[in-house]
């Protein structure tokens, strides 16, 4: 596979010819999401200022002008995709019929099982706290088979995820886990026109095997180390063992850094005083799919269980996160949980 394979050609080759049940996922859904990433990049470049608009989303989070514009960009891209029947986001956390499928659900319930349909759960712009100083931020998108992502097994029903990264370049990391095929994770250089001129620059994104030339750690919620002795010991371990710090405060660029370098661990613990902030449906599930498809591991630091092990019953469910190189995640789990 060439390092500069066109995205649409790459997707066509990666979906088995006899797998008609997921054809639209690669021919329309994923290209639409890459189009959305390209559109959001244009939105950010055109935003001369980042400011609060005086409104809050359904979770009570203050909205920025770029939050609203990014939400609109994703919704517009999905409107061209008939296979996506519903969508919800961190800005609008209700699974509503997609604009091009306002008749959903169908009159006959059996149509849901027979037709290739998806729902998309997404965070249009992750990194509000660091966007004003013009640091890299991202978009998180998860694609689920069926009309709802709630009360569904993330391991079985979430079939794809996309992380868009907006920095000096616009890139996307895409994961596919279609039943009956090998998991796939790859990196895309997103073109100005979206999917049409996007190139696959790394066809197989994987965490590296030991020995590692450099070890990286990203300690989110570092203030919690003052409240949690185990977290303080863990951070001290990284310093004493000469790990390289790579933490920007942006979830997407920090996780993607580990995927690019082939090693890294992202740690966002939860304590009694520092509550969980990351939402399972819009952030944790898509990230966990990406990490697992790259050969890594993603767990809930409060329990040690895999992020994708439990279904969400509510769009506002939250948890901490430890993800990255599998052996590093296991060490963190033992360190935090004893």
- Look at residue 14 in the predicted model and tell me its pLDDT: 77
Question: Which of 46-55, 61-70, 134-143 is most confident?
Answer: 134-143
Lowest mean per-residue pLDDT among 143-157, 205-219, 262-276, 315-329: 262-276
174 vs 286: CA distance, rounded Å = 10
Q: Which residue has the higher pLDDT, 266 or 128?
A: 266
Give me 287's structure tokens: 């990230």
Could you tell me which of 283, 284, 315 has the C-alpha nearest to residue 94?
315
Q: Is 80 exceeded by the pLDDT of residue 221?
A: yes
User: Which residues sit opposite 2 in a β-bridge?
Assistant: none
- Look at residue 111 in the predicted model and tell me its pLDDT: 47
Q: How far is CA 135 from CA 162, 217, 225, 253, in A?
A: 20, 19, 25, 9
Could you tell me which of 143, 94, 85 has the C-alpha nearest to residue 115?
85
192 vs 310: CA distance, rounded Å = 38
**Mean pLDDT, residues 20-39 taken together:** 93
Domains and CATH numbers, the chain: 5-202 (3.30.540.10), 216-337 (3.40.190.80)
Q: Is 90 exceeded by the pLDDT of residue 162?
A: yes
Q: Is 70 exceeded by the pLDDT of residue 222?
A: yes
> Each residue of 77-121: pLDDT tens digit?
999 899 999 999 999 999 999 987 776 666 544 445 568 999 999
114 vs 118: CA distance, rounded Å = 12
Question: Which of 124-128, 272-276, 278-282 is most confident?
Answer: 278-282
pLDDT band with cut points at 50, 70 and 90 for residue 1: very low
- Look at residue 83 in the predicted model and tell me its pLDDT: 94
Q: What percent of the chain lies above the pLDDT cut of 90?
A: 79
86 vs 119: CA distance, rounded Å = 5
**Mean pLDDT, residues 175-197 taken together:** 94
């Amino acid at each position: 596979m060439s390092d500069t394979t066109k995205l649409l050609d790459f997707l066509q080759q990666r979906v088995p010819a006899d797998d008609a049940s997921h054809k639209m996922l690669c021919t329309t859904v994923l290209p639409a999401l890459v189009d959305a990433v390209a559109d959001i990049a244009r939105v950010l470049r055109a935003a001369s200022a980042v400011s609060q608009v005086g409104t809050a989303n359904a979770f009570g989070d203050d909205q920025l002008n770029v939050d609203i514009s990014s939400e609109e960009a994703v919704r517009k891209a999905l409107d061209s995709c008939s296979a996506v029947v519903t969508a919800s986001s961190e800005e609008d956390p209700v699974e509503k019929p997609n604009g091009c499928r306002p008749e959903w659900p169908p009159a006959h319930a059996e149509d849901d099982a027979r037709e290739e349909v998806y729902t998309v759960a997404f965070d249009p712009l992750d990194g509000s706290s660091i966007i004003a100083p013009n640091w890299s931020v991202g978009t998180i998108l998860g694609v689920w088979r069926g009309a709802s992502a709630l009360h569904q097994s993330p391991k079985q029903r979430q079939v794809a995820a996309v992380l868009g990264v907006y920095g000096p370049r616009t890139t996307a990391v895409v994961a596919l886990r279609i039943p009956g095929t090998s998991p796939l994770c790859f990196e895309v250089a997103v073109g100005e026109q979206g999917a049409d001129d996007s190139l696959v620059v790394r066809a197989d994104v994987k965490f590296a095997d030991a020995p590692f030339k450099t070890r990286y750690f990203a300690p989110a919620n570092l203030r919690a180390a003052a409240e949690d002795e185990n977290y303080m010991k863990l951070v001290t371990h990284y310093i004493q063992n000469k790990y390289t710090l790579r933490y920007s405060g942006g979830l997407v660029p920090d996780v993607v850094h580990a995927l690019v370098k082939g090693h890294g661990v992202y740690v966002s613990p939860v304590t009694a005083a520092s509550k969980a902030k990351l939402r399972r449906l819009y952030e944790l599930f898509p990230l966990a799919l990406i990490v697992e498809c790259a050969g890594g591991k993603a767990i809930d630091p409060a329990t040690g269980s895999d992020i994708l092990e439990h279904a969400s019953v509510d769009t506002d469910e939250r948890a901490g996160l430890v993800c990255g190189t599998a052996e590093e995640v296991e060490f963190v789990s033992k360190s935090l949980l004893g």
